Structure 1
Amino acid sequence: MDKERLKYVLHEAALLELPRIHRRAIEVPLASGKVVVLAGIRRSGKTFLLLDTIRRLVASGVDRRQIVQVSFEDDRLHPLRATDYDLILQAQAELYPELAGRPRYFFFDEVQAAPVWERFVRRLHDTRAGGIFLTGSSSHLLTREIATGLRGRCLSYEVFPLSFPEFLGFRGIVPEAYSQTSEARVAAALDEYLETGGLPEVVLSEPVLRPRVLKEYSDLVFYRDLVERHGLANPPVMRELLRHCLASPASLLSTHKLYHDFRSRGLAVGKDTLYRYLGFLEDAFLVFPTPVAERSLRKRAMQPKKLHVVDWALGYPYQPSAMIDRGRKLENAVFLHHRRQRDDLGYVAGASEIDLVVGASAPEAWINTTWSLADDETWQRESASIAAIGGPARRLLVARESAGRKAPLGVELVEAWRYLLEKPAG
């Protein structure tokens, strides 16, 4: 890293006009005394949450020049060595000597691109920082790096694409109680949400540009977060695996069947490689493998996992939107409604399938999700399986179109738009 070039980076950041920010459900604390970590899929809004935090700090009286803002994916900083971090402190001190003695606030974007960054951050936290705020697009920020270097010093948040309430906020829609007009508008907005997805840039783009934005985004994630980050030796297999997962939200995944399918199509890959590649997708926050709701580890291992995706619109570059089942999109949205709050989720396999179990080892809610209950066979299947569940946990049937059905005794029949506005069950 060159110190003089770094001064340009820091000074440009200090002069950058802060963009207009759409409010999100997460509000980053300004003075927690912890290293604040925002981890999530690329372009889910992490950087804008940092910029909003900077805006709030400046509004509270902090001089903008006290804020040290660096993206470790900035090509001007590379090659970046573990011994270069002190240059950031030196460059800041030389740029603004008049601020000597004042606390510094450090904002580091995409830290997974920096070597052994956690040691530097720990030293800053223990010695001189007024506040430290990090983002990254690797799940290791929530596990491995934090556990080894910053345990007890961090406050971590997972940042997802927009929830349905956040989507309404981006569209300027405020639900009104006891208003049929408002309810109809919110229900129509749910249809748009399930078509558009929740990536902020896509939501704010003109409809004609969205396919291009999604294609560019898909390629960026594929090459930077998968191929380059993990040094993949077989990119075509990863591309096909990514296509398979993203185009099939809320679907069961049998690695054994997938292995034979790939082999039959001439894709040379071993089972161990497939397992590793699935782990890479999970690390990049692209997929959430959900186990069967069993206390027995052996039984869990024997059943395929249900694969939910971080945003169903990411499948559009691989499969036209109309070919991705809208009921699966809705089921995926209900899963994410809960996954934003907790990760102890599961499903029930077999003839009496339950789409989602909240509190996988000690169930708090059982949920089936379907698009429409107008079809008698669908109604019988979905209502019978959820009604057969015993115990004190809530039993819910979530539908976009209830078709005037009456819920069985002990089962809550909830319109999908209404459910996605509620606090998650459980």
Structure 2
Amino acid sequence: MDQGMQIVIESQNPWWFSKNFDKGIDRLSFFPEIIQYLNAKEILLLTGARRTGKSTLAYQLIDYLIKTGTPKQNILYINLDEPLFMSMRDDPSLLGSIVEEYTSKRENKEILYLFIDEIQNYKYWAYAIKTFYDTKKYIKCILTGSTSSVLKNSAASRLSGRYLACTVYPLSFQEFLIFKGIINPEVIKKRQLFDEYLKFGGYPRIVVEADNSLKMQILKNYYETIYLKDIILPNNLRNNSDLVNLLYYLISNSGNLYSFNKIAEIQHISPDTVKEYTEYAQNCYLLYTLMKYTWSVKKQIANPKKIYALDTGIINAISFTFSENKGRLLENYVFCLLNRIFDEIYYHKRNYECDFVVKSKYPVTMEQNNILKSNVSQISMAVQVSLSLKELDTKNREIRGLKEAMEDYNLNEGYIVTENEKDMVTLDDKTIHIIPAYSLENELREFTK
């Protein structure tokens, strides 16, 4: 290892020299599976959009290891965003040579925790990690990455059965309160804080920034970095204006039904281009697609879809006015929260529409399956979103769509999420819980216990 590389490696591993390093505000308690996966032999993948806190979580894992007795020399951290490593991204021996030289100098043969940040920056990462896993049983790999297509495709083909993954999202509202240093605020204060959260989103850097105008500028920078580094550059796109216009349209219409053909007509590009660019945006976690729930996969694909954005702050920073589109932001927030907790989310539409129906992570009981005799029982929750139910027509419309979904999926309870209202409605044998958005996270955590 030459002197330049040695200096870089040492600067990235300050704990070797008992130096302090920035661990940020603790988030590990919100990701219990990470500690569980850390203790498994499989490779641990921390994926998610840029700036959501993957690197900070890696530092918190390092701090956890040190505090629980792991020798500091048994932790090796490599950040592939470092310019020196970026210049060597096409060198197939890069990671192997670093690890070989480091392990040859270790005095003990205990487990080595190998942290590699921004793994997608290295062309041969999957080959190198598979070799470590198969031939060096004393190495536990913890990887972070910002592009799901690179990670999932390479991992699926090269690392099949060898990895466990965890997606890191922007802060939830409960995490937002912790970052603000606020515990159990009164209702009025909680409403004000949720309004701030809805407007600026949950990126950790944004939450701790006091200047609102600077928040918006940073959010715009995040957005531009995502589409430049994770869409345009890796996919060698030439007509950037088509991509930018399409992303702006999709983000500005979050929660609306769309089809590739309809958007292609509006944007004056081909349906194939719309599909391709939308997939790129999904691969870097910027956008998420919601499909209609139906028994047929072909029908799911053929039906109109909905688009939701990674973060409400991103929506606000690049598209519409906050006060005029608060309802749409609220719906996007609910999607993001459901997406963090549940495996599969859909929208329901027969005669009426329900914003979200959720497939449970947990199998139904044998008794339930015998009664229903179909996979309809896989739907465990129905959720409607409305800024307010004070207008009777709005309340009737939202209840109508929710009740239809509850009847179709044999649910006794359903939820309508509002900005501030709380109530309970009983219709026949169905119970509808009307809850304020700031309480939704706690409700969902209770539901999944």
* CA apart distance, 1:241: 1.4
Q: 2:225 aligns with which of 213, 220, 233?
A: 220
Superposition pairs for residues 157-172 of structure 1, below 5 Å? Answer: 157-172=166-181
Q: 1:321 to 1:343 in 2, by over 3 A?
A: farther
Change (3 A) 1:239 1:323: farther
Amino acid paired to 1:250: G
Distance 1:419 1:102, change over 3 A: closer
Q: Aligned runs of 1:12-411 on 2, under 5 Å?
A: 12-15=11-14, 17-24=20-27, 25-27=30-32, 28-29=34-35, 30-77=38-85, 78-80=87-89, 81-92=91-102, 97=105, 99=107, 101-126=109-134, 127-140=136-149, 143-175=152-184, 182-206=186-210, 207-263=212-268, 269-322=269-322, 325-349=325-349, 352-359=352-359, 362-388=378-404, 389-390=406-407, 391-393=409-411, 394-402=413-421, 406=425, 408-409=427-428, 410=430, 411=432
Letter in 1 for 2:22: P
Aligned amino acid, residue 278 of structure 2 = L
Residues 145-190 of structure 1 deviation map (CA, whole Å, 9 limit, x = unaligned)? 2221222221210111111111121122223xxxxx6233223222
Number of residues of Structure 1 aligned to a counterpart in Structure 2: 413
CA distance in structure 2 between the aligned counterparts of 1:369 and 1:248, rounded to whole angstroms: 16
Q: Which amino acid aligns with 1:275?
A: K
How far did 1:130 drift?
4.0
SS at match of 1:315: helix
Q: Is the contact between residue 402 and residue 415 of structure 1 (CA under 8 Å) also seen in structure 2?
A: yes
Distance 1:272 1:243 in 2: 18
Verify the 8 A CA contact 2:199 2:322 in the aligned structure 1: no
RCO comparison, higher one (Cα < 8 Å, 6+): 1
- Give 1:417's aligned residue: 438
Hey, what's the Cα distance between the residues in 1 that align with 2:111 and 2:278?
Answer: 43
Change (3 A) 1:323 1:349: farther
Distance change in 2, residues 1:341/1:244 (3 Å): same
Shift of 1:229: 1.3
Q: Is the CA contact 1:3–1:91 (under 8 Å) kept in the aligned structure 2? A: no
Shifted more, 16-25 versus 379-388: the winner is: 16-25
- TM-score normalized by structure 1? 0.90
Give the Cα–Cα distance (whole angstroms) in 1 for the partners of residues 147 and 426 of structure 2.
42
Q: Residues 246 and 267 of structure 2 are in contact (CA less than 8 Å); yes or no, is this contact kept in structure 1?
A: no
CA-to-aligned-CA distance 1:36-63 (integer Å, 9 cap, x gap)? 1101111111000000011111222333
Looking at structure 1, the residues matched to 386 and 151 of structure 2 have their Cα atoms a distance apart, in angstroms, of 33
Letter in 1 for 2:95: Y
- Alignment deviations for residues 268-303 of structure 1 (CA, whole Å, 9 cap, x no partner): x32211111111011001111011011123322332
> Separation in 2 of the partners of 1:351 and 1:140?
36
Q: CA RMSD in A?
A: 2.3
SS of 1:143's partner is helix
Which deviates more from structure 2 when the two are superposed, residues 104-113 or residues 408-417? 408-417
Aligned partner letter, 2:166:
Y
| Cα distance in structure 2, aligned partners of 1:286 and 1:121 | 27
Identity among equivalent positions (%) equals 23
Task: Give the C-alpha shift of residue 3 in structure 1.
Answer: 4.1
Between the aligned partners of 1:405 and 1:56, the Cα distance in structure 2 is 43
In structure 1, list runs of 5 or more residues that go unmatched: 176-180, 264-268
1:341-363 CA-to-partner distances (Å, cap 9, x unmatched) read 23321102365110001129632
- Structure 2 distance, partners of 1:258, 1:108, is 39
C-alpha separation between the residues in 2 aligned to 1:154 and 1:387? Answer: 41
CA 386–128 in structure 1, closer or farther in 2 if over 3 Å, else same: closer
Kindly indicate whether residue 6 of structure 2 is the aligned counterpart of residue 10 of structure 1.
Answer: no
- CA pair 325-405 structure 1, distance change in 2 beyond 3 A: farther
Gaps of 5+ in 2: 361-375
Q: CA deviation at 1:324?
A: 6.0
1:40-92 Cα shifts (integer Å, max 9, x gaps) = 11111100000001111122233333322112222111132223222212453
For 2:146 and 2:71, locate their aligned partners in 1 and report how far apart those are by CA, in whole Å: 29
Q: TM-score, normalised by structure 2?
A: 0.85
Which portions of structure 1, spanning 4 or more consecutive aligned residues, are displaced by more than 6 angstroms?
none
Which stretch of the first structure deviates more once superposed, 142-151 or 207-216?
Answer: 142-151
**Distance across 1 between alignment mates of 2:403 and 2:100:** 66
Task: Check the 8 A contact 2:311/2:336 in 1, yes or no.
Answer: no
